Structure 1
């Protein structure tokens, strides 16, 4: 039931993984009364940590939640490979038997997911207590915020298959771009360009590239009118130099690929409202959160892929 995740998987394999995960989430919801979308959000957050960090093993099963041996078995347990739920409990470990086979295996999907669900349930199953449980576990406000954002998206759409993307401007619009990530920039002081500039005319619609949550909306001295979207991969998508925002766009709003969030402009490099210091274009950046910090990475390959996929769909 735990297909190896170390190779590139096909669309059929991915669909099967989604089915397996949803079956596990709903089973644990029935056992613990923790709604499936909270469990999906924690699992999704941790899975992305494991793909973005070198100090964590890559997930091999359907569930991405990771427990180090000392957390699972107990910090003073002389047997770091202990799978006995009784002795694990004696030594203060978290490991639980989730499938009723009498073994608490930290590499078993059901045991791992049940252990997390049971931990959260010990605080309560309502939203407020789930947040407290997650803060006590992760000790990081941003982590809790990211998981709550993932939860909102899963709950809103009612499914896990949310990995489609869209190009940030209509592909039939008159636009151009090239790989400018890492270039030198002099406006406001010498620094690295953390994104790709997509040149287009004033007023060309700017669209969400992903499923996610509006995390930031407003003015930035350098970026002008800008929007930040957090997706289900713990990635922050940054849209800057906008001419304006879509009507009624708000922080915390759920978005999906292709949804209009604003339009191309030339705002920035001054107090609110400053514009026209450069040709109209969209600055598009991507930043990854790894549970400790956040860093910029090159969006150009993703933009090329999303543009190609959208042209193929059309």
Structure 2
């Protein structure tokens, strides 16, 4: 039975790759989306793990690879990572072993996902099937999948990010979600300079982890990407602030708001350009403190490398999104 399912999966996958290759010259990026989706859907049919969970985990690991320097670039379109030692077995003298029987004998993780008789780290189908098969050992519903993810990553943020990525993919039904938006509508008066890294004195010596976009009170603040609202509430530095995690694991921080968009709550999925709040001057004190500085949006971006997060300069991204918005206006 399993051989029949694997054969069907291989035929389907080969057909998807052949179709995608014909379109590659027209739009290589769309071809990558099609190839990934074909892999996700094939593995869903074999392991019963919903495709959007596989897409969510793959997106999380793709972000980890971009943020860190301890993993080489993925060879194919799937970014889920196994070290050669994990794949072939910790005691296997041949870390490049691809014989499924030998890998199994040494308790390696690697499995043959496309029925060609090898378990290869360089084959997307093998890597994705190995990961999906692991999760299937916990069950196929959301709660059990999250348990499997926790045992795999041993990190709350990983499970939270993958869960939210999966929710986004499930809602929109596509992988093509790379659009961005400038956080303030162009028709409003605003100004900004590169202030990331500048010194700040209130509350102790620290650096400015963002870019200040000065605008009038109640100027709409917009989501800059597809993501999930991960945090809301008061912070003595940022006042009424809001945090959104996108599909690259980047955390977008919006500070000094005067209020949130009505009905917006933690856990909501947002799209680029969607209003999430309004410019204010809240912060630098206990809840309710306002007016200690001119109204502006503090916009920050933070990368996650799988272990910790750190601030990076959002100014280049802001200039790029603003330029694109002006081009489309």
Bucket of the pairwise TM-score, normalised by the shorter protein: over 0.9
Q: Which residue of 2 aligns with 1:284?
A: 299
Question: Structure 1: which 5+ residue stretches go unaligned?
Answer: 3-8
Q: Which residue of 2 aligns with 1:168?
A: 183
* CA root-mean-square deviation: 1.4
1:134 pairs with 2:149: yes
**Residues 313, 289 of structure 1: CA spacing in aligned structure 2 closer, same or farther, 3 A cutoff?**
same
TM-score, with structure 1 as normaliser: 0.96
- Matched pairs, number: 308
Q: TM-score, normalised by structure 2?
A: 0.92
1:178 maps to 193
| Matches of 1:75 and 1:136, distance apart in 2 | 18
C-alpha separation in 1, matches of 2:170 and 2:25: 26
Match of 2:86 in 1: 71
Q: Per the alignment, in what secondary structure is the counterpart of residue 182 of structure 1? A: coil
Deviation at 1:10, TM superposition (A): 9.6
Matched, 1:50 2:62: no
Distance 2:103 2:267 in 1: 40
What is the distance in 2 between the residues matched to 1:227 and 1:60?
36
Q: Matches of 2:328 and 2:123 in 1, distance apart?
A: 38
Unaligned 5+ segments in structure 2 are: 1-13, 18-23
Secondary structure of 2:27 counterpart: helix
Larger mean CA deviation between 119-128 and 222-231 belongs to 119-128
Q: Per-residue deviation at 1:52?
A: 1.2
Residue 80 of structure 1 corresponds to 95
Closer/same/farther in 2, CA of residues 60 and 192 from structure 1, 3 Å limit = same
Give distance in 2, aligned partners of 1:11 and 1:179: 37
- Secondary structure of the residue aligned to 1:75 is coil
Determine the C-alpha separation between the residues in 1 that align with 2:179 and 2:197: 27
**Inter-partner Cα distance in structure 1 for 2:170 and 2:147:** 19
Q: Does 1:36 align with 2:79?
A: no
Q: Which residue of 1 aligns with 2:245?
A: 230
Whole-angstrom CA distance in 2 between matches of 1:161 and 1:307 = 21
Flag the structure with higher helix content: 2
Per-residue deviation, 1:60: 2.5
